[in-house]
């Protein structure tokens, strides 16, 4: 991996949470950065995201460790950027329909150092006083958080701009590679030269990379969110019930999520939103005004093996790839480590399992 010289110019393709974080960290370390947002400063998948920051049970130990570091890194970044970077750190309260299934992952996950424990109904009520009924046994995960995804990406873009980064709404049509070296991009309004290019274009990375011979196999999946109109404070943190995952955004909207594991679009998204809200109304004490305002259907950028793809493309010198699901959880960490690798040319060991080359 070639090192970075201060005179070199870096283009970050993508203004979602990942591109914004990479660009911020590059600019904060004194490099010349231009961000091409494709007309979406704040992101595409980012704008459709549930935005839960977690290292919850369900992943193998190494990926759990990366996610845990991802959580901690948001705290570091809050120290660096200050109060403009707002994150709700009130944790999550979750349960399954079966009490045994609720408790099952807790001991192992606690042994891995996660702040996770069982709570009784009284503790659950203390965690989320705005609910109308509580399970006898629930799981409290106090390290978890959530953020307003577009606002956060835009905060990072603004912080990058304050440090001299250029933000440009142009769209990239293709990467320009000469003799195995990236030399720039072809955009809608012409060519932009660069010495380093970071692909942070979410689901669009796959095609942009394929066009220059870099294989990024993806297994993207649709995800659905239903939003209420702004409401007075109702939920403290995340509530993860068997029927609905919900949280309240900083703007007061309650957001309820559903994952379409099959990848197919539901026929009737209005009905889907109503079903989710009915489940939420059955749980929330003051639910009279808890009605659907709008819903969103977004494509989750998911690499074929489910793990992030982060690192230099071996076949194209100067091209750096960042594509992942759980980009909200990982953005602060990935932004810092990617910037370090690009600037120093030295590989960071933490990222070794996530290299693009694993698909070749």
Q: Which residues bind ligand FAD (CB under 6 A)?
A: 13-19, 36-40, 43-46, 48-52, 171-172, 200-202, 204, 223, 225, 298, 300-301, 324-329
Query: For residues 137 and 142, which CB has a smaller minimum distance to ligand FAD in the complex?
Result: 142
* In the complex, minimum distance from the CB of residue 71 to ligand FAD, in angstroms, rounded to a whole number: 10
Cα–Cα distance between 217 and 307 in angstroms, integer? 11
List, as own/partner pairs, every contact residues 248-256 make where C-beta atoms lie below 8 angstroms and the sequence separation is at least 24, other chains included: 249/148, 250/86, 250/88, 250/148, 250/151, 251/148, 253/227, 253/228, 253/229, 253/293, 254/227, 254/228, 254/280, 254/284, 254/290, 255/50, 255/225, 255/226, 255/227, 255/228, 256/225, 256/226, 256/227, 256/280
Q: Name residue, tokens 């891995």.
A: 112
Query: For residues 40 and 236, which CB has a smaller minimum distance to ligand FAD in the complex?
Result: 40
* In the complex, minimum distance from the CB of residue 24 to ligand FAD, in angstroms, rounded to a whole number: 12
Query: For residues 168 and 350, which CB has a smaller minimum distance to ligand FAD in the complex?
Result: 168
Query: For residues 24 and 50, which CB has a smaller minimum distance to ligand FAD in the complex?
Result: 50
DSSP-derived secondary structure for 295-336: EEEEEE--BTTSS-EEEE-TTSBTEEEEE-SSHHHHHHHHHH
* In the complex, minimum distance from the CB of residue 288 to ligand FAD, in angstroms, rounded to a whole number: 27
Strand pairing category for 137-141 and 32-36: unpaired
* In the complex, minimum distance from the CB of residue 172 to ligand FAD, in angstroms, rounded to a whole number: 4
* In the complex, minimum distance from the CB of residue 151 to ligand FAD, in angstroms, rounded to a whole number: 13
Query: For residues 47 and 315, which CB has a smaller minimum distance to ligand FAD in the complex?
Result: 47
Residue nearest to ligand FAD (CB): 16
* In the complex, minimum distance from the CB of residue 314 to ligand FAD, in angstroms, rounded to a whole number: 21
Query: For residues 119 and 240, which CB has a smaller minimum distance to ligand FAD in the complex?
Result: 240
């Amino acid at each position: 991996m070639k090192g970075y010289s201060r005179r070199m110019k870096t283009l970050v393709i993508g203004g979602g949470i990942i591109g914004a974080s990479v660009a911020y960290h590059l600019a904060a370390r004194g490099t010349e950065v231009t961000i091409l947002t494709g007309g979406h400063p704040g992101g595409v998948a980012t704008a459709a995201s549930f935005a839960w920051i977690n290292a919850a049970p369900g992943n193998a130990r190494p990926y759990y460790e990366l996610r845990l570091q991802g959580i901690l890194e948001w705290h570091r970044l809050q120290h660096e950027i200050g109060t403009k970077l707002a994150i709700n750190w009130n944790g999550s309260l979750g349960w399954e329909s079966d009490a045994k299934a609720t408790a099952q992952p807790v001991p192992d996950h606690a042994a891995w150092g996660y702040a996770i424990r069982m709570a009784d109904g009284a503790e659950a009520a203390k965690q989320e006083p705005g609910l109308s009924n509580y399970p006898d046994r629930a799981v409290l995960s106090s390290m978890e958080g959530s953020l307003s995804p577009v606002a956060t990406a835009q905060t990072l873009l603004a912080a990058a701009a304050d440090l001299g980064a250029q933000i440009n709404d142009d769209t990239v049509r293709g990467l320009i590679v000469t003799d195995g070296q990236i030399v720039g991009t072809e955009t809608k309004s012409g060519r932009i030269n660069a010495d380093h290019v970071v692909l942070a274009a979410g689901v669009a990375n796959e095609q942009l990379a394929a066009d220059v011979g870099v294989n990024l196999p993806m297994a993207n999946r649709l995800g659905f969110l239903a939003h209420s109109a702004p409401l007075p404070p109702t939920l403290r943190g995340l509530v993860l019930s068997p029927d609905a995952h919900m949280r309240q955004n900083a703007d007061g909207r309650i957001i309820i999520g559903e994952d379409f594991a099959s990848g197919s679009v539901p026929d009737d998204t209005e009905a889907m939103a109503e079903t989710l809200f009915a489940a939420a109304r059955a749980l929330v004490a003051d639910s009279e005004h808890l009605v659907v305002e709008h819903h969103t259907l977004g494509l989750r950028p998911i690499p074929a093996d489910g793990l992030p793809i982060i690192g230099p493309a071996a076949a194209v010198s100067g091209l750096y790839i960042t594509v992942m699901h759980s980009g909200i959880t990982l953005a602060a960490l990935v932004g810092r480590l990617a910037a370090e690798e690009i600037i120093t040319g030295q590989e960071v060991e933490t990222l070794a399992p996530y290299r693009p080359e694993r698909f070749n």
